[in-house]
């Protein structure tokens, strides 16, 4: 959510069945969470719900890959692309899963993965961010480096100090 530069009045649509960390990432940016209904068959976001929930302030959609099952990402991407809305796949439970031959978390503009001990691939904590957008990747790198752009920091030779 930080890479999207969300502002206070911006909105992000999420499924009504999600984990608090997803919404906390939105709220941390002071944006507004908009819940949309899920499909009772897949427990994932229903694409027709997006049109009902979308407003002029909608900046992103965060579909959740639940238990390895993706929502209809083709429909979600179509709606989002037509309106300039970012799609952030919450693939916390999607490591190893696929959507139409693509790894979960790689259909949207970016994907986020969790390696918490309750997930299907665990390191105890941590996660991963995926995107094929160089601009988003550069922003994510700067955020990861706590605001430092390592691409512009040049290595300087160390000055030798003689103790005498």
Residues labelled catalytic = 119
State the greatest distance between any 2 C-alpha atoms of the chain, in Å, as a whole number: 77
DSSP secondary structure of 48-61:
HHHHHH--TTEEEE
Task: Identify whether the C-beta of residue 66 lies closer than 8 Å to the C-beta of residue 93.
Answer: yes
Do the bridges between strand 58-61 and strand 32-36 make them parallel or antiparallel, or are there none, so unpaired?
unpaired
Closest CA to 83 of 49, 58, 52, 108: 58
């Amino acid at each position: 959510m930080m890479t999207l530069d969300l502002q206070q009045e911006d909105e992000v649509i999420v499924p009504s069945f999600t984990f608090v960390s997803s919404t906390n990432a939105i709220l941390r940016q002071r944006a507004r969470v908009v819940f949309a209904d899920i499909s009772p068959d897949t427990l994932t976001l229903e694409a027709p719900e997006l049109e009902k929930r979308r407003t002029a302030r909608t900046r992103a959609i965060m579909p959740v890959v639940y238990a390895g099952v993706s929502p209809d990402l083709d429909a979600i991407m179509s709606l989002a692309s037509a309106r300039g809305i970012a799609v952030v796949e919450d693939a916390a439970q999607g490591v190893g899963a696929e959507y139409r031959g693509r790894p979960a978390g790689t259909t949207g503009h970016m994907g986020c993965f969790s390696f918490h001990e309750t997930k299907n691939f665990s390191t105890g904590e941590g996660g991963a961010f995926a995107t094929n957008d160089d601009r988003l990747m550069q922003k994510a790198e700067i955020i990861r480096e706590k605001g430092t752009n390592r691409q512009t920091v040049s290595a300087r030779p160390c000055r030798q100090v003689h103790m005498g």
